[in-house]
Amino acid sequence: MSFVIKGDVGEDYRLRDLRDTKSDADGAFSVEVVIPSDLSLDANLNAYLRARTNTTKTETVFDLVA
C-alpha cells in the first residue's frame, strides 16, 4: 500500500510506501494505514492511496485539507 501525490498532469510527484498487505483468495484485502503528517505543502495536489500487484494497481483519491 502506497501513498501517492500526483502533479498537474497526473504523474507521480511523491510516492511513499506505507506497508505491505496480502489479499485473500478472492483478491480482497483490508488494511489500516497512517497518512503521513508532513503533507501540508502538498494540499493543492491530488492525493491517492494505491494498492498494486505486479500486474495491476488501484487508486482511491481523497482531498488533503491543510
Give the bridge partners for 50, in sequence order: 2, 59
Q: Look at residue 64 in the predicted model and tell me its pLDDT.
A: 65
This prediction's pTM: 0.59
Q: Do residues 61 and 48 touch, judged by C-beta distance below 8 A?
A: yes
Give the closest residue to 62 by CA, choosing from 51, 21, 45: 45
Q: Give the pLDDT mean for 21-34.
A: 82
pLDDT score, position 44: 67
Q: What is the mean pLDDT of residues 56-60?
A: 79
Query: What average pLDDT does this structure show over 51-58?
Result: 78
- Is the pLDDT assigned to residue 25 strictly greater than 80? yes
